[in-house]
């Protein structure tokens, strides 16, 4: 990856433009609702960004002033390709009945697995949920940080951990794809994952991330598992999803209500987790 020139005040996206564009409605607009119920409608690229979010800036000019925005150039370029790949699998699985599982192995391009994992890691470490966890970890020992120092410490932490997490993600775990033809997922400034402020390895990683209104990805890396199949696409009945949803809410601090569907039951799983782990914003088509 080639380093970028530091631009002070630059807005850095935690919801990549190559991904958020998939959430536009018939007018190409995305709707955002915050914790107070206020709704804003705008172009996808206007959402999910933080000023100096990936810049390491000190109070004085120093050679240490830098940016890590270039870390995310490659995954952001690859998101459109990965979405097209997942959509091709979705077309192949569109006739699967509820409760059936489609297994994909050798016919899948090997490189797409690791690229998908890299893209997921990039979403996780950029998300406000992860950023808030990093700040909370430091503030537990030092007390409340001002806004500038908070951004500095978060960017410095991502600088230290991102490449290590990407390397550890290679070949780690399995992917599950959740497809919905009739209902839509939602995205937020948080989503379910157990990758936290102190995470350095990805043994036992769990994540559930909506990538488009009709596709969500489950990533799981148990301590022991069979290598094949590496990819599963699923549609389950309502009862199984409700069981999963109850367990998600039980182990979440703030269970919230949300609208969802994907063979209806699957979307419920994803939307509950998104709203549970989001702090301020939710996005929908």
Average of per-residue pLDDT across 90-112? 58
Quick check: 183 pLDDT over 80? no
pLDDT tier at 247, thresholds 50, 70, 90:
very low
Whole-number average pLDDT of the chain: 80
pLDDT tier at 283, thresholds 50, 70, 90:
confident
Residue 5 counted as domain residue: no
Residue 218: beta bridge partners? 176, 208
pLDDT for the residue numbered 95: 53
pLDDT for the residue numbered 230: 77
Residue 1 counted as domain residue: no
Residue 2 counted as domain residue: no
C-alpha span between 224 and 10 (Å, rounded): 43
pLDDT tier at 94, thresholds 50, 70, 90:
low
Global confidence as pTM? 0.79
Residue 6 counted as domain residue: no
In tens, the pLDDT along 126-139 reads 998 899 888 988 88
Residue 3 counted as domain residue: no
Question: What percent of the chain shows pLDDT beyond 90?
Answer: 31
Total count of domains within the chain = 1
Say which residue, 77 or 222, is predicted with more confidence. 77
Quick check: 173 pLDDT over 70? yes
Handedness of CA 270, 271, 275, 281 (dihedral sign): positive
Quick check: 30 pLDDT over 70? yes
SS3 120: helix
Quick check: 250 pLDDT over 70? no
**86-to-89, 215, 248, 280 alpha-carbon distances in Å:** 5, 8, 25, 29
Residue 154 tokens, joined: 């978060």
pLDDT tier at 257, thresholds 50, 70, 90:
very low
Domain with 105, as residue range(s), is 11-284
Average of per-residue pLDDT across 18-40? 90
Say which residue, 249 or 239, is predicted with more confidence. 239
Decide if 219 contacts 173 (C-beta within 8 A).
yes
Lowest mean pLDDT among 114-118, 133-137, 161-165, 226-230: 226-230
Say which residue, 115 or 180, is predicted with more confidence. 115
pLDDT for the residue numbered 143: 86
In tens, the pLDDT along 74-91 reads 999 999 999 999 888 877
pLDDT for the residue numbered 144: 87
Quick check: 121 pLDDT over 50? yes
Residue 209 counted as domain residue: yes
pLDDT tier at 99, thresholds 50, 70, 90:
very low
Contacts with 118 (C-beta within 8 Å, 6 or more apart), sequence order: 74, 75, 78, 166, 169
Handedness of CA 196, 199, 204, 205 (dihedral sign): positive
């Amino acid at each position: 990856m080639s380093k970028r020139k530091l631009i002070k005040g630059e807005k850095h996206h935690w919801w990549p433009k190559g991904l958020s564009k998939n959430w536009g409605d018939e007018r190409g607009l995305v709707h955002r609702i915050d914790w107070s119920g206020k709704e804003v409608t705008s172009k996808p690229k206007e959402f999910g960004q933080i000023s100096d979010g990936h810049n390491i800036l000190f109070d004085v000019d120093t050679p240490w002033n830098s940016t890590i925005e270039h870390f995310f150039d490659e995954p952001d370029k690859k998101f459109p390709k990965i979405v097209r790949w997942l959509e091709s699998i979705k077309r192949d699985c569109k006739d699967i009945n509820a409760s059936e599982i489609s297994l994909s192995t050798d016919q899948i391009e090997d490189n797409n697995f690791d690229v998908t994992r890299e893209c997921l890691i990039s979403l996780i470490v950029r998300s406000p949920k992860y950023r808030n966890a990093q700040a909370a970890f430091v503030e537990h020992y030092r007390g409340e940080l001002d806004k500038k120092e908070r951004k500095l410490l978060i960017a410095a932490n991502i600088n230290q951990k991102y490449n290590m997490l990407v390397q550890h993600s290679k070949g780690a775990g399995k992917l599950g794809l959740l497809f919905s033809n009739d209902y839509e997922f939602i995205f937020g400034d948080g989503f379910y994952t157990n990758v936290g402020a102190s995470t350095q390895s990805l043994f036992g990683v769990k994540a559930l991330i909506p990538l488009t209104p009709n596709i969500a990805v489950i990533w799981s890396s148990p301590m022991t598992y069979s290598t094949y199949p590496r990819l599963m696409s699923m549609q389950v009945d309502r009862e199984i999803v409700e069981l999963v949803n109850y367990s998600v809410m039980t182990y979440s601090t703030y269970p919230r209500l949300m609208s969802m569907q994907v063979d209806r039951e699957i979307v419920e799983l994803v939307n509950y987790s998104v709203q549970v782990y989001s702090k301020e914003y939710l996005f929908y088509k």
